[in-house]
Amino acid sequence: MRGQAALLETALLVVAMVLTFVVAQHLFKVQYIQSDYALKINAERILIHWADTGVAYAVAYGATGSGDPQYAKAALETLLPPNVGYNLTVISLTRDVIYTIARGYNPARSDGATLILMRGEGRIISLRLSR
Amino acid sequence: MRGQVLIGVAALIFVITLLLLVALPKRTIGPTVAIENYTTAKREVEHILRNAAEEAAYATANTLEAILSNTQNLQDGALRDLYSRHFNVLFTDKAGAYAVLRGVFCKLDTLDVEVSRGNNYFYISSIYAVAACDNGIMAFINSAADVRVEFKNLGAFGGVKAAVNLTRDQKQIQLITYAAALYDKSYRFPIMGAFDPRESIWYFNITGLHYIQVAIPPEYCMMSNPTYYVAIAAASVGEGAATVVVAKPGGKLCGR
């Protein structure tokens, strides 16, 4: 009887410790999956590259002030492989959305970044990428 | 007895862990996008400075009559002050909108504007500005302009030809926008032309040297003691380089 009780105690102790470790691991797990992180960092780097090279102005304003979706599409599709979907939205700070272009975009598995330009009335370029 | 204590301790650890799981915010460990976030923020502030520098050139050219009516004769110091005031206003306006969007407050830390002059003309020759934000970001722009103005006798018309070379960090700017207008001291607005960035002319030159030519109509170019002057605003597109040129002919520009 005494031996069975000790065995039960040991078993319960082991179960409690295993559960504690499982829960603790879950508690400190990385929140984003690796692919989302890669998408976010890629979106940020594309926008930084655009800001550095002046492409951001062509995308957000164009020659007419209403942006250039064709140019944006070409600029994005030379950088992104076909298996990566995208959604690019250019928003005016005074006139709402100016245009949106997308290709194979899956919001459930996406991440992205934004860039703010303050020329004229200002623009927000939102680039989201998905797998 | 000893076994019950052990089970109690194990149960306590388990319950505390569950409570922590519910109470603590979710943690993220591993790499973050700190470098990219910093770079994006720095670029955004840098572009606010660049846009303010470019738009200030148009705003200055558009309000030259304000300093003309006070002094009756434009001075390079007045041009520098007018440009600096417009830069300040535009930067503050843009930084305010940026603060609303990103929650980051930026202010203009330094602004040095220089004016150079040639024979019967002067222009903004360099812009150096630094912005500092409350998140520790600092950004700056450093641009220069080199301008040569020629006055031409074109027979019935007079002409002003400005060779404009804009640089940012010693790199020549190939794409510019520009506008030109003719002012007369008697009026408080440009008598020909306008300085609206939306109606400005786009000019790309691979060499970075831009020739801006303005015709002077006969009723003005015939004046042997001119009361008019020509103003030109030229700015890059998102590079932070800009200049305002004010040229005043010394005599008759057309006819014999």
pLDDT digits (tens, 9 = 90+) for A74-101: 999 998 999 999 999 999 998 889 999 9
**Chain B nearest CA to A13, separation (Å):** 6
Contacts of A119 in chain B (CB under 8 A): 47, 51, 54-55, 238
Per-residue pLDDT for B127 more than 70? Answer: yes
Domain boundaries, chain B: 34-247
Gap between the Cα atoms of B47 and B45, Å rounded: 5
C-alpha B107/C-alpha B129 separation (Å) is 11
Q: Name the token pair of A56.
A: 């951001």
pLDDT of residue A24 exceeding 80, the answer is no
DSSP code for B207: T
Q: At what angle do helices A34-53 and B34-62 cross, to 10 degrees?
A: 30
- The larger pLDDT score, comparing residue B2 to residue B78, is at B78
Residues 185-244 of chain B whose Cβ lies under 8 A from any Cβ of chain A: 197-198, 202, 237-239
Rounded mean pLDDT of chain B? Answer: 88
Which chain A residues are within 8 Å of B54, Cβ to Cβ?
119
Residue B30 has pLDDT above 60, yes or no: no
Average pLDDT, rounded, for chain A:
87
Q: What was the pLDDT predicted at B65? A: 80
Determine the residue of chain A that is closest to B202 in CA distance. A63
Taking the Cβ of residue A18 and every Cβ of chain B, the question of whether any pair is shorter than 8 Å is answered with: no
Q: What is the pLDDT of residues B142-201, one digit of tens each?
A: 999 999 999 998 888 999 999 999 999 889 999 999 999 998 877 777 888 888 877 888
What angle do helix axes B34-62 and B64-71 make, rounded to 10 degrees? 50
Q: What is the mean pLDDT of residues B90-118?
A: 95
pLDDT band at A51 (very low <50, low <70, confident <90, very high): very high
The phi and psi torsions of A21 (rounded to 5 degrees) equal -65, -40
Asked if residue A28 has pLDDT above 70, the reply is no
Q: Are A102 and A112 in contact (CB under 8 A)?
A: no
Whether B239 and A54 lie within 8 Å, measured CB to CB: yes
